[in-house]
Amino acid sequence: MTNIKDRFLKYVGIDTQSDTETGLTPSTPGQLKFSQQLVHELSEIGLEDVELDANGYVMATIPSNIDREVPVIGFIAHVDTSPDFTGKHVNPQIIENYDGSDIVLNKAENIVMTTSDFPELKKYVGQTLITTDGTTLLGADDKAGVAEIVTAAEYLIQHPEIKHGKIRIGFTPDEEIGAGADHFDVEKFGAAYAYTMDGSEIGELEYENFNAAMAKVTVLGRNVHPGYAKNKMRNSIRIANQIISMLPRVETPEHTSGYEGFYHLIAFHGEVEKSELTYIIRDFKMDRFEDRKKEMAHMVSKINSEYGKGTASIEIKDQYYNMREKVEPVMYIVDNAERAMEAVGVKPNIKPIRGGTDGARLSYMGLPTPNIFAGGHNFHGRFEFVPLQSMEKAVEVIIKIVELSASAK
């Protein structure tokens, strides 16, 4: 049986960074390469119905080994890494028996992960940490989840004494660019419910997430020679900055936590004639979410009242919704995951996701899908790391969930 450390290290060596600009599915060739490798690996392990579709989605089956019908359960992870930080030439470092001190990721470039900046490191004294070399992300989001699912599947195939119903495995592309569920065939997957292995630190169990939208504000200006611009020039950059200042300064990601929502300016491109602002809007409560969208539209109206009709325009597109509405009617699936964690010595930490997963959209597509920890920290950047023992515990949780699901009355 391949140990999870070796499997994970093999996976992070493949560049699967997604890309919002290609318009393809999967958006990058590395994702397809990784999915093809997973198809080969799952077939070798002994899973059935292993297939890769034209859009890069992998599905496979672990057949039931009990003589009664129980709900089909699924486990899902995504193969891509964030487009925001390079995942090419990942060179992981292994720190065994971590001593609790600052970690030098790259001596030549003086890149250090300090315990003052990242106090969560202290939780893992004595454990084995897998870090970056300071120049790339690691890819634990979500190759840790992929490795955990494949390792659990291999263990279940090799240990038929563990009784379980039919299990479906799914790996998706392009989750990091919000497209992971775009071409997911829920009917074909055929599960009653599923879990994404896409959370962060050990113990996380999540069935709530943000309602999410993207807003694009366009401001049109008028350029005139600055020496003769009085009462003629309309500088779109200055108007765009006025729009930014109209939103509450403290309702931004860096000022919020828990169930607090925010407006997040993620891009600003501007010249005198035209400026564009791109925001993401997030809130857990649907009424507050709708109010945030209305506030942005109202803000644009106020700009047009001041500068003239057509100065500013806004496009708002909903991205995903809070899965809680779809999971609460089947809360036993969260209870099973909680019981599984407790059974293998993991303290459950039930909390909202300050983001989204494939599971959020899949829940609204008819597949209730809460989220379980994959073990990593500081995703999408050079300070990403994952404790080996957290990945090992995630494998145990998967195995225990399928056991409990099969024994439920």
340 lies in the same domain as 379: yes
Query: What's the pLDDT at 375?
Result: 98
3-state helix, strand, coil in the chain (%, to 5): 35, 25, 40
Query: What's the pLDDT at 46?
Result: 97
Is residue 80 part of the annotated active site? The answer reads: yes
Task: Return averaged pLDDT per consecutive 10 residues of the chain, 409 residues in all.
Answer: 91 96 96 98 98 97 95 98 95 98 97 97 98 97 98 97 97 94 97 97 97 96 94 96 96 95 96 97 97 97 96 96 96 97 98 89 97 97 98 98 87
Is residue 403 part of the annotated active site? The answer reads: no
Please name which of 214, 219, 233, 231 lies closest in space to residue 304, comparing C-alpha atoms: 219
CATH, residue 264: 3.30.70.360
30 lies in the same domain as 56: yes
Query: What's the pLDDT at 154?
Result: 98
**Cis amide prior to 142 (ω within 30 degrees):** yes
**Quick one: 320 exposed, middle or buried, by C-beta within 10 A (0-12, 13-18, 19+)?**
buried
Query: What's the pLDDT at 357?
Result: 84
Residue from 41, 133, 141, 175 carrying the catalytic annotation: 175
CB distance 196 to 371 below 8 Å: yes
39 lies in the same domain as 27: yes
Task: Give residue 68's domain range.
Answer: 4-208+322-407
Rg, C-alpha atoms of the chain: 23
Indicate the residue among 320, 351, 375 that finishes a domain: 320
The mean of the pLDDT values for the chain is 96
Indicate the residue among 265, 285, 320 that finishes a domain: 320
302 lies in the same domain as 339: no
109 lies in the same domain as 150: yes
177 lies in the same domain as 135: yes
167 lies in the same domain as 30: yes
* Alpha-carbon torsion (151, 152, 157, 159), positive or negative: positive
The two structure tokens encoding residue 112 = 């250090």
CATH, residue 77: 3.40.630.10
List, for residues 84-130, the tens digit of each pLDDT value: 899 999 999 999 999 999 999 999 999 999 999 999 999 999 999 99
Q: What CA–CA distance (Å, rounded) separates 215 from 227? A: 35
Domain count, the chain: 2
120 lies in the same domain as 134: yes
Query: What's the pLDDT at 2?
Result: 76
33 lies in the same domain as 142: yes
192 lies in the same domain as 338: yes
42 lies in the same domain as 150: yes
229 lies in the same domain as 251: yes
DSSP per position, 324-345: HHHHGGGTHHHHHHHHHHHHTT
The two structure tokens encoding residue 151 = 């390792």
Indicate the residue among 293, 320, 347 that finishes a domain: 320
Query: What's the pLDDT at 178?
Result: 87
- Alpha-carbon distances, residue 28 vs 14, 36, 177 (angstroms): 12, 13, 12
Query: What's the pLDDT at 368?
Result: 98
List, for residues 167-182, the tens digit of each pLDDT value: 999 999 999 998 999 9
Residue from 80, 141, 142, 148 carrying the catalytic annotation: 80
